[in-house]
Chains A and B, each alone.
Chain A
Amino acid sequence: MNERISGRQFALMAAYVAIGDSMLVLPSIPINDAQQNAWISALVGLAAGMMVVWLLSAAGRLYPHLTLVQAAEQLLGKWIGKAVSALFVAYLFLSIGAHTREIGDFLTTQMMPETPIQAIHIMYAGILAMAARLGLETIARTGEFFFSFFIVFLAAFILFLIPDIKLNNLLPVLDGGIKPILRGSITMTAYPFMELAVLLMAIPAVRKPQAIHANFMRGAFMGGAVVLLIILLSILVLGPDYATRSIYPSYALAKKINVGRFFQRLEVILAFMWLLTSFIKSAIFFKVLQTAIAQTAGLRTEKRLELPLGMLVVCFSLIISSNIIDFHEADHYWPYMDMTFSVILSLVLLAAYAIRRAARRKGTTGSGNKGKD
């Protein structure tokens, strides 16, 4: 990988991946489980998520100049490593398909119901392919550029909603016990934080390896905090009932903004913000997918595959499910797939590293690779 991104860009990438699609689709899930206590779920998710990121960071720093795929081969041996990488490629691919589908669903639900979803997917995949062609640096720089706008919009968004906050919506606290809160925190941990595993492929690109850990944690925290804020705001302004009922609560939130009868109907700006974060996240996933395929298959160049990949993404995003309810069913098990490729994968790599080091110290030159189950 011969791209170079700064530490700050890496942090922002982490933030984008964490906020990603979580800003729009995540809030209704914990609120459905924990009702008015969903903000506690979010806090638990944030804490658990930071631990996951710490783990990811540790695994990534084992070989800071190697991508995840390369490190897997190094640590687990060529064939097992490639098998793991192939699974990772499949995971990435599924994720991109899902993200694309989410954008398509959102736009056709809220704004353009008669547009065939294929048109949106094709255009989206097209831009993703273009972004991948332009490289990780470009994606990072684009993200950096837009981030200040994003923060300003977000701050304005929150500010304009303050008059509509009803603190009573948070009470009674902890009335359902801890179980619903834990249930709600599962997706909160998975979607923003576990999906950060994708950045393990981008670690070699960071200019200063010693900046990786701090920026990783910082970016993830920032992203997680934004999601927490949105969940909190949804409960405070909409109330648990309406927030659960809406499929896109943050959009419903934006519809409520009405400052002096002047600043109203601003929800399109929210749609833009969400499109932005989702796009950067998908672009990162796509570029990483390309790199992962190239490295797993041992290709000489990683370019040139974007267009067919894009096409496959479009097809895939359409097969994924026939309707939106079916698709959201996946929220029940997708987090565990996320967990496999973040937590379990990191643990396996760390274990393999430890075993190798121990074996080497004993003087044996055996390939002490721990087979992946």
Chain B
Amino acid sequence: MVAIAGIVLTAVLIAMLEVPAMRKRRLKKELFLFFAILLLAAGIGIAQSLHITLPNPLDWVAAVYGPIGRLVDSALK
């Protein structure tokens, strides 16, 4: 619970720190990306504190490059 509050609070604080300056300069694309990343991070963070298993990007890398790794390893046994 505390962790989720902390995450949300941090996200809000970050937004409060950066958004006004961006709004003033009408940086639309930046704002879009900003919120996208922020929400993604907050989402992941909350999911983690609720112990929901999340997809692990390292697994995707392993899927792509694992076979090559194994090939080279066995070639050089």
Contacts and interface: CB of A to CB of B under 8 A. Distances in A.
Contacts of B57: 94, 97, 316, 319-320
A94 B61 contact: yes
Contact of A333 (B17, B18, B69): B69
Interface string B26-70: 010110011001101110110010000010111001101110111
A78 interface: no
A361 interface: no
B18 A304 contact: yes
Interface in A151-198: 179-180, 182-183, 186
A309 interface: yes
A305 interface: yes
Nearest to B58: A320
A330 B42 CA distance: 26
Interface in A296-311: 297-301, 304-305, 307-309, 311
B45 A315 contact: yes
Contacts of A333: 61-62, 65-66, 68-69
B5 interface: no
A248 interface: no
B77 to A, nearest CB: 7
A334 interface: yes
A293 B56 CA distance: 22
A321 B17 contact: no
A156 B51 CA distance: 46
B58 A183 contact: no
A94 B17 CA distance: 26
Is chain B's interface secondary structure helix, strand, loop, or mixed overall?
helix
Given A332-B66, A332-B69, A333-B62, A318 B30 contact: no
A333 to B, nearest CB: 4
A186 B71 CA distance: 13
Contacts of B22: 304
Is chain A's interface secondary structure helix, strand, loop, or mixed overall?
helix
Q: Which of B41, B58, B61, B65 has the most CB of A within 10 A?
A: B58
Given A183-B76, A307-B14, A316 B44 contact: yes
B2 interface: no
Contact of B37 (A183, A298, A308, A327): A308
A312 B58 contact: no
B43 to A, nearest CB: 9
Interface string A270-304: 00000000000000000000000100011111001
10 contacts: A94-B57, A183-B76, A297-B29, A299-B30, A304-B21, A304-B34, A311-B45, A312-B40, A319-B48, A336-B72
Given A301-B25, A333-B69, A336-B68, 20 more contacts: A94-B57, A94-B61, A182-B76, A300-B29, A304-B18, A304-B21, A304-B27, A305-B33, A307-B17, A308-B41, A309-B37, A311-B11, A315-B45, A315-B48, A320-B57, A320-B58, A321-B56, A330-B58, A333-B68, A335-B69
Task: State the 10 A-B residue pairs at the shortest beta-carbon distance, nearest first.
Answer: A333-B69, A311-B41, A333-B65, A308-B37, A315-B44, A312-B41, A308-B38, A332-B69, A307-B14, A336-B65
Interface of A: 94, 97, 179-180, 182-183, 186, 293, 297-301, 304-305, 307-309, 311-312, 314-316, 318-321, 327, 329-330, 332-337
